[in-house]
Structure 1
Amino acid sequence: MSLFIGLMSGTSLDGVDGVLVDFWAGAARTLSAAHVAYPAALREELMALQAATPNELEREALAARQVALVYADCIEQVLAKTEMKPADVRAVGAHGQTIRHRPELGFTWQTLDASLLAELSGIDVIADFRSRDVAAGGQGAPLVPAAHHALFGQQGSTRVLANIGGIANISVLHPDGHVTGFDTGPGNVLMDLWIDRHLGRAYDDGGAWAAGGHVIPGLLSSMLLEPYFAAPVPKSTGRDLFHQEWLQRHVANHGGAAPQDVMATLTRLTAVTLANAIKQYAAGTDIVYLCGGGAYNDTLKTMLAAELGHQVTVETTAALGVVPEQMEALCWAWLAFRFDAREPGNLPSVTGAKGLRVLGALHPR
């Protein structure tokens, strides 16, 4: 066996997903999985750290320790579902929690006390995967297309994997082995902000609230004018752009709009920007596989299917044998597997880096 744990906490800030994966003989077999939610106070602090705050350095360091505690809990739960012990695991691939992503300024920052995590888990921890790609002139994101290509690429057909977390991104696996991938724009981030503000809920379960609203054409059109959507690839984004102020600026220009109609419009925004990216960069594909929390938003799936047209089937990655919410954690386990072998984990065609690079920094147990 060749065991690695992948830990992923995305821009939704809901907590950490963990998987234990066996990469024996090059295949990926998920043995167990767990999700640990962030305590409310930690989620609130991580949200605050998305922008400049007083005493920021100390607050970030303390949050990094708290994130490590949640990660350690997730590792314990993943192992408890098997007969494996920490000594059986080669390494943990830990993403950390993104609080800044500014590749145009030469940096990206995922907060996590990786040394504490190694101390608590008794397993080698590999973290800070994005920085080396940024150092090589890349975006540092998305990194999942490399794993998607290695694990799900298929000669002779074009496959599209669309990850809808807080931010949405696509991996286009071309039949000749070429890979295209980038962040398409907001996934759930704006929808989550809006429903939290108006209903006090973390997310729109199944897209039920959006389903009862009506899309506001003028609002949708104004949001689609955001320059990011028309920017050339490679590109990546995050809460540094798509945040509460961005949302409020657009909604303010449509005073009196019903909150439920705004929700329907935000859902359509994610569907349209995803569909536009797929139609531009994956023309001819006949199937799109969804993963991430957005894969469970039935209203979003219906809107996306309508935008893509009847010739394209929209499924979840369950059809590929991977539970949608476990896909990113699986990719981070793969990145740890690649680091352990000192093999590259990025794709310059996706991130724009100068070349292939081994990604990550080792924190020995």
Structure 2
Amino acid sequence: MKTYKIIGMMSGTSLDGLDLAYCHFWNKKNKWEFEIKNTKSISYSSEMQKELKDAIHLSAEKLIQLHNNYGTWLGEQALNFISETNLEVDFIASHGHTSHHRPELGVTFQLGCGQHLANASKKTVISDFRSNDLALGGQGAPLVPIGDRLLFGEYDFCLNLGGISNISFELKGRRIAYDIGLANMILNYITRKIDLDYDENGTLARSGTINPKMLKKLNDLSYYLLPHPKSIGYEWFLEEVVPIVDVTKDSTENLLHTSVHHICEKIAQQVALNANKNHQKLFVTGGGALNTFLIETLKQKLDSKIEVVVPEKILIEFKEALVFAFMGVLRSEREINVLKTVTGAKRDSSSGVIFLPN
């Protein structure tokens, strides 16, 4: 029984930093199993955070330059991670950092050039997991549902609370998944106005009250009316959400409290629409799962028949890096790792580009 030894790398829309997860995978009796052996999180400097956030405004030339430089930086971080703990690695699977996501235009772009990453790390790299799906007419997102199906199939719903909230579940034998809407992106945008990276445990949000006008504007965003498959990116947030936050003159606590209620209302609506039996389990990961006020609010808004399962911290923080490592395994085996029922593409695909070090 072969054991794959992979590093998964993930940088999310919340811009917290880079997650690295060293994982082992093996297929036992036709079922994939895994173990997260080692992890590391690297916070972005304020300069790098700004560079990645503002990449959307760069010229093509400057964007490619950042793509290459960031790829080299990723490779250096991987090399350090390997040498610090003397890891035995088959290859690296990197998501990169999404700078552009406009699937309606057939455009998505993940910073972090795979060739630069491979050269700097001295390891084979699999990256660029999204562009093939766009070429097949899909959204190129979300991608994590293949991991939800094959690694976390015991849960009825898998909810990820990163910068964006997305959900994944089985419906009549088909995996369905889509971006619900906002999560940490709006919360972190509000706290950064007072030079705070994030609202730890939702403490500030808990002390606030709802701003009814802001809540209505957020709830009325047209994205929520679109059918799935659907996904959003930073562009949508800048164009549709930031103006609502900026025009609302209220305390930080009230802005956060209102945003948490909005996030949880939209999630609860989607779970209620798709719940189909008496007792179901909702598995919650991503940084938002560490926000105790958000989780408490979500439980209040969900039907009592839905059990919210928040796993150990390592899975909360590194599930996405784990799944991209797993997607790399599937790609190396030429097995399906992107599902058409999730993205709306013409067909399922085995996506990801393989780069050999030079």
Structure 2 residue aligned with 1:179, among 170, 175, 179?
175
Query: SS of 1:209's equivalent?
Result: helix
Q: Say whether the 8 Å CA contact 1:234–1:351 is kept in structure 2.
A: yes
Q: Say whether the 8 Å CA contact 2:117–2:125 is kept in structure 1.
A: yes
Distance 1:248 1:100, change over 3 A: closer
Q: Which amino acid in 2 is paired with 1:98?
A: T
Does the alignment pair 1:276 with 2:281?
A: no
CA distance in 2, matches of 1:278, 1:74: 38
Alignment match, 1:257: 250
5+ long unaligned stretches in structure 2? none
CA distance in 2, matches of 1:102, 1:248: 18
Does the alignment pair 1:232 with 2:227?
A: yes
The CA deviation at 1:259 is: 2.7
Q: Say whether the 8 Å CA contact 1:10–1:98 is kept in structure 2.
A: yes
Show CA shifts across 1:200-238 (max 9, x none).
111111111100100112211121111111110000001
Query: SS of 1:242's equivalent?
Result: helix
Structure 2 residue aligned with 1:286, among 280, 283, 291?
280
The CA deviation at 1:39 is: 2.1
Distance 1:196 1:253, change over 3 A: closer
CA distance in 2, matches of 1:80, 1:315: 35
Q: How does 1:239-254 map to 2 (within 5 A)?
A: 239-243=234-238, 246-251=240-245, 254=248
Show CA shifts across 1:17-67 (max 9, x none).
1111111233211111111112221110111123x34xx223323322342
The CA deviation at 1:177 is: 4.1
Q: Which amino acid in 1 is paired with 2:35?
A: R
Of 222-231 and 69-78, the range deviating more from structure 2: 69-78
The CA deviation at 1:76 is: 3.3
Q: Percent identity?
A: 30
Q: How does 1:82-97 map to 2 (within 5 A)?
A: 82-85=85-88, 89-97=89-97
Distance 1:42 1:83, change over 3 A: closer
TM-score by length of 1: 0.90
CA distance in 1, matches of 2:246, 2:289: 29
Q: Which amino acid in 2 is paired with 1:335?
A: M
Does the alignment pair 1:21 with 2:18?
A: no
5+ long unaligned stretches in structure 1? none
CA distance in 2, matches of 1:220, 1:261: 11
Q: Say whether the 8 Å CA contact 2:75–2:119 is kept in structure 1.
A: no
Distance 1:183 1:148, change over 3 A: same
CA distance in 2, matches of 1:281, 1:91: 38
Distance 1:78 1:315, change over 3 A: farther
Q: Say whether the 8 Å CA contact 1:42–1:63 is kept in structure 2.
A: no
Higher strand share: 2
The CA deviation at 1:107 is: 1.5
The CA deviation at 1:251 is: 3.9
CA distance in 2, matches of 1:153, 1:128: 25
RMSD over aligned CA atoms reads: 1.9
Structure 1 residue aligned with 2:157, among 160, 166, 182?
160
Q: Which amino acid in 2 is paired with 1:213?
A: G
Q: Say whether the 8 Å CA contact 2:72–2:112 is kept in structure 1.
A: no
CA distance in 2, matches of 1:344, 1:215: 44
Q: Which amino acid in 1 is paired with 2:274?
A: Y
Q: Say whether the 8 Å CA contact 1:35–1:74 is kept in structure 2.
A: no
Alignment match, 1:191: 187
CA distance in 2, matches of 1:61, 1:93: 20
Of 275-284 and 302-311, the range deviating more from structure 2: 275-284
TM-score by length of 2: 0.92
Show CA shifts across 1:262-295 (max 9, x none).
1111111111111111111234352211111001
Alignment match, 1:147: 147
Alignment match, 2:8: 6
Q: Which amino acid in 2 is paired with 1:280?
A: L
Structure 2 residue aligned with 1:42, among 39, 48, 68?
48
CA distance in 2, matches of 1:194, 1:69: 32
Q: Say whether the 8 Å CA contact 2:73–2:117 is kept in structure 1.
A: no
